[in-house]
Amino acid sequence: MTPSGSRPLLILLLLALSSTAYGGPPPAPAGPEDFVSRLEAEGVTIRRLLSHSAGFPLGTLGVEFTPGEPTPSLEEMLHREARLSAPPGSGFIYSNPGFNLLELLVQHATGEDFSQYMERRVLGPLEMHHSRFGWDPELEDRVPVGHDLRGYPVPVYTYPERGAGGLFATLEDMTRFVEAGMPRWNPSPVLTGAAIDVLHTEEASGLGIYGLVADGYGLGHFVEILPEGSRAVFHGGQGNGWMTHMRWVPETGDGFVILTNSQRSWPFIARILRDWGEWRGFPAVGMARIHLAATLLGGLIALLLVAAFAQALRLALGLRRGARSLSPFSRGRRLLQAAQLAVGFSLIALVAWASQVDALFLASVFPHRMGWLAGALLALVLTASAFLPWTGRPSHSH
């Protein structure tokens, strides 16, 4: 059992609730009517929340609690996080607070706890009997230990919210969910085929960095048009110590789920996708570009190391021959030295910052410590070169 991304299941429920699931305003945290009115007036709709185009930001990462520990309420978290960062409808911004607003909508619309309602309307009908939203003490012996970007163990934790990432699920149950997303092959007991097709239809484009692996975003699902014309839908989940991915092609009946207990799994997932694409005869799969990019990044790291060691060798030979001396900002070379210092200190700052950021996107996609090592070596060598400039005049001892 592994923590999994809960967004697609939440979409499934919202479509099943009623025909008013589109176009309406989100509910207000703790009920202030002015909050509802303001969001409605600014153009925040359910469809925009579902497609990450309502203008809310990504949200704060790393707000984790030990199971059983007191946590802030959903309303408290939304009052803190649900702040518009862009005009609604202006573009795609992946947003966890937006989906947590949808969680609150479900509770206000039904009068039931979110977890209980999801069990009754989605998990139960799909026979996902070993999955639940939120923590249950029965899960304690079934959830494996996660591992962060540095490989250190991460004990199980929970979030105050459940809509954007509070699902605990087994591999078998997640395959049932994927099967339900292919009504041509396995009719869903929750939604009609037409409704499911709405989920998989592109609603937002211009995905930014996500555009490297997807052509658009539907309602709770990334959408990719494969080279032979069929449509693949997918979603992943990433947290401290965990990484998951599910993908399926409704037209062909292909689908799979990957659950891992490591935050360094994206290259591994990308390799599986590449192999799957080759096996199925697809010329390219968007996520497989991560594997190619990782290979190119390895080449860049090698070049950085060669450059660092070459400059270090030049520095050592210059010192040995007396052609370099300690002369910061020497006349005639101040511009070059200033540039070397700027590059060196910038790389040092980048390495120091990256080493402290647990959820750094690039570190998750390319978990190569050698990259930061190469940057640090080059930074140190450039800095040393700036303080020990080439004078061209060997010193002579008598």
Count Cβ atoms below 10 Å from residue 300 Cβ, excluding itself.
Answer: 11
Alpha carbon separation from 170 to 167, 240, 258, 373 (Å, rounded): 10, 18, 11, 38
Phi, psi of 355 (to 5 degrees): -70, -15
pTM value is 0.75
pLDDT of 220 reads: 94
Tell me the β-bridge partners of 236: 245
DSSP conformational letter for 26: P
Half-sphere exposure of residue 211, counting CA atoms within 13 Å on the CB side?
A: 9
Residues ≥6 apart with Cβ < 8 Å to 373: none
The structure tokens listed for 147 are: 């591992």
What are the residue ranges in the chain where pLDDT is below 70?
1-40, 283-284, 324-333, 351-378, 380, 382-384, 386-398
Angle, helix 7-17 to helix 171-180, in steps of 10 degrees: 50
* Mean pLDDT over each residue of the chain, to the nearest integer: 80
pLDDT of 231 reads: 92
pLDDT of 70 reads: 93
Which residue's entry shows tokens 């699920």?
A: 169
pLDDT tens column, 282-332: 766 777 777 777 777 777 777 777 777 787 787 788 777 777 666 666 666
Q: What is the identity of the amino acid at 101? A: L
Residues ≥6 apart with Cβ < 8 Å to 189: 125, 126, 180
What structural domains does the chain harbor?
Answer: 2-264 (3.40.710.10), 297-387 (no CATH)
pLDDT of 26 reads: 47
Contact 167, 1 (CB under 8 A): no
pLDDT of 157 reads: 93
